[in-house]
Amino acid sequence: MSQHAAPRHLARRLLILVAGLWLAGAAQAAEPTEAQRTAFKQAYATAQQGGDGWKSAASGLQGYPLYPYLEAASLTHDIRQVQRPQVEDYLKHYPALIPASDLRRDFLTELARRQDWDNFLAMYQPGLGDALTCNALQAQMSKGASLDFDRDLAALWSKPKLPSACDPVLGAAHDQGLLTEPRLWDRIERAADAVQPGTINNLAGWLPADQSESARRIASALTDPGAAAVAANQWPDSPRNRQAAMLALERLARRQSVTADIAWQKLEGRFAFTPEQRNRVMYALALFHATDYDASAISRLVALPVSVQTDTSREWRVRAALALQDWTAALAAIDAMPAAQQQDGEWRWFRARALTQTGRASEAQQVLASLAQEPTFFGFLAADRVNAPYGICQLELKGNPQRERTLLANQGLVRAFELYAVGLPRQARREWTQALDGADMETLKQAVDIAYRRGWYDRAVFTFNTGDALRYYEQRFPLASQDGLVPQAEEAGIEPSWAYAILRAESAWMPDARSGADARGLMQLLPSTAALVAKRNGITWVGGDSLFNPVTNIILGTRYLAQMAGSFNGAPWLASAAYNAGPGKVNQWLEARGTLPPDLFIATIPYKETREYVARVMSFAVIYDWRQHGNAVTLSQRLTPIGQTYTLPDSHSERKLVTCPVVAPPTPAEPASAAPASNLPPPASASSTGTR
């Protein structure tokens, strides 16, 4: 760079910096108006229909932060007719925006459909997903390129399931002789581990006839283990058939442990199972006999080799003992756990219960005194048992005006807030994530504070999920009066703090939450259930999409909660279980173990998701009660014994004070709200999510 160029370059950088600061200040000062938001909504609805009609509706919105979303919506609708220059013009104007990335991906998918490989290769960028990766390989092959397994396929091949766009590429790889038998079996093994029988059946056709049959048997073991276990009596003993038989027995044990036992007795001597395969079958039989509360469950679990045992099998040894109220066996099972697992609040609580029942009350008191300081389901139970206040240590989220100004100069974050304001929360979350990628905790705190003040509550739930951040209770457990939850709960005849807790556990305050089963909105109602609730309560029903309206969702959700409570003597803890797993399942469990105290009944719920859900909801109800009133009805009062009628709290109810212990214990991380992982899924014939 010349001596004359350097000052000009510096001057240009300073000009850019000054202009950037001016624009940041202008952007911060120019808070969008409600008129602009209304105009955008109308223009966006028009743009989603395609064509150029949105442009007249968007007159005057050129400076509005979400203006680029309009053209992208129109182009996406018209993607079948759009040509490359139109897309490239948009990408040129908005290169770093999320709608631009989406438009590129959608247009590449369309070009692949057209098999317009020249334009596809001109616009393709790596890292856009498996389907487009395979489209790119197909485009290269159309130009005469050959596939190289290590370069082109190895990463794809390691995945147990691929999109249909990869089928032509895999077919070409087979024709080139790249899919050798070892490689096919390697992927079949991965697919078996991931329970992807469709992948296995697709690959089986490329194996020799004898091996193809073995592969299909592995697939059948995954899809219909009962039939496979019966058919295995006719299979020859070979390594692959042993694997299929072992998988069938494992899968069958999950569904029907007694039937799996009978099948194992027949197949154990027929196949020369390896020690590892035998251990896998014995583990599955022991574990799922325990979930069925078979009388032999404890002895089966104890008999498992130590090397085969897992945290799950050890905890089910405790649960099986609790179901029998065999306190000596329960204490022995807890003692057999690794030290780290024993420190879980659930096992400390049941250790104290077992110690008390076996005459060691002073030891139990020591365990309870420590546990009572923790703001969890079992911590609250312990506090009730030792008559201690609930240990909740709240942190106040303090704003930083300078940091807030900096954040509001971040145009990605501005778009995020504006998208939420106009009712596009999914797009808002994407802008939030991109804008705050790599941000430190102090910046995230400030962003959450801004979001909270604007009514965007789920940001706190998902951001404050570990460590001391869990103590921002005001933000993590908002009291959103504008959605009418309190009056609607009271009108339905249920406790508002419980309704708040259900909402918080179901959706984490995401108004557009939608489950794989199509449960929708804040309280996660199925449209079919909501329609019945509306009819039963004389409420106008205008369709499933109305459940994304918080007001409508809460009206129907509180009525459905009241319906569930009415089916179980008003008990909120049983109604919570029914809300998650369905009333039919809860009635089955009550028929089997309806004489147990509430804490033991909850501990012996077969579904991990439902066990954790009930504990989470009931602890959230305590926290929300405290948030509303400054103290809380005791958790023990909420856990009415089975068969006893629950009475709504009133002025005579015992209320617990809340204090922060001198040394605040670490707050356990909150389980994910949206889809709790289950290491013990229900039988395939049953639903783990119930009838909502």
pLDDT tens for 573-613 read 999 999 999 999 999 999 999 999 999 999 999 999 999 99
Among 250, 506, 609, 612, the one annotated catalytic = 506
Residues sharing a CB contact under 8 Å with residue 166, sequence separation 6 or more, in sequence order: 130, 131, 134, 156
Q: Is the pLDDT of residue 424 over 90?
A: yes
State the Cα–Cα distance between residues 235 and 220, nearest whole angstrom.
Answer: 13
Q: What is the pLDDT of residue 664?
A: 60
506 catalytic? Reply is yes
CA atoms within 13 A on the CB side of 323: 23
Q: What is the pLDDT of residue 651?
A: 85
State the Cα–Cα distance between residues 691 and 483, nearest whole angstrom.
Answer: 24
- Report the candidate in 144, 156, 207, 147 with the shortest Cα–Cα distance to residue 176: 147
Q: What is the pLDDT of residue 661?
A: 87
Q: Are 124 and 154 in contact (CB under 8 A)?
A: no
Q: What is the pLDDT of residue 7?
A: 42
State the Cα–Cα distance between residues 470 and 465, nearest whole angstrom.
Answer: 6
- Report the candidate in 365, 332, 362, 360 with the shortest Cα–Cα distance to residue 349: 365
Euclidean distance between the first and final Cα of the chain, in Å?
69
In this structure, of 59-68, 293-302, 438-447, 671-680, the range with the lowest mean pLDDT score is 671-680
State the Cα–Cα distance between residues 106 and 110, nearest whole angstrom.
Answer: 6
Confidence of residue 504 (pLDDT cuts 50, 70, 90): very high
Q: Which residue has the tokens 């941000």?
A: 439
Confidence of residue 5 (pLDDT cuts 50, 70, 90): very low
Q: What is the pLDDT of residue 665?
A: 62
CA distances from 274 to 219, 246, 263, 287, 327 (A): 20, 10, 17, 20, 37
Share of the chain above pLDDT 90, in %: 89
Q: Are 350 and 322 in contact (CB under 8 A)?
A: yes
Q: Are 635 and 374 in contact (CB under 8 A)?
A: no
Q: What is the pLDDT of residue 483?
A: 82
Number of other residues whose CB lies within 10 A of the CB of residue 519: 22
Tell me the sheet residues that pair with 656. Answer: 632
Q: What is the pLDDT of residue 500?
A: 97
pTM for the model stands at 0.89
CATH architecture of 481-659: Orthogonal Bundle (1.10)
- Token digits of residue 568: 């179980």
- The model's pLDDT over 108-158, given as tens digits with 9 standing for 90+, comes to 999 999 999 999 999 999 999 999 999 999 999 999 999 999 999 999 999
Q: What is the pLDDT of residue 662?
A: 74
Q: What is the pLDDT of residue 611?
A: 97
Q: Is the pLDDT of residue 25 over 70?
A: no
- The model's pLDDT over 315-353, given as tens digits with 9 standing for 90+, comes to 999 999 999 999 999 999 999 999 999 999 999 999 999
Question: Can you list the alpha helix ranges (DSSP code H) found in 422-569?
Answer: 425-435, 441-453, 458-463, 473-476, 485-492, 496-507, 527-537, 550-567
Domain boundaries, the chain: 1-30, 401-471, 481-659
Domain 401-471 grouped into CATH 1.10.1240 = yes
Q: What is the pLDDT of residue 399?
A: 86
- The model's pLDDT over 195-250, given as tens digits with 9 standing for 90+, comes to 999 999 999 999 999 899 999 999 999 999 999 999 999 999 999 999 999 999 99
Q: What is the pLDDT of residue 30?
A: 72
State the Cα–Cα distance between residues 118 and 83, nearest whole angstrom.
Answer: 13
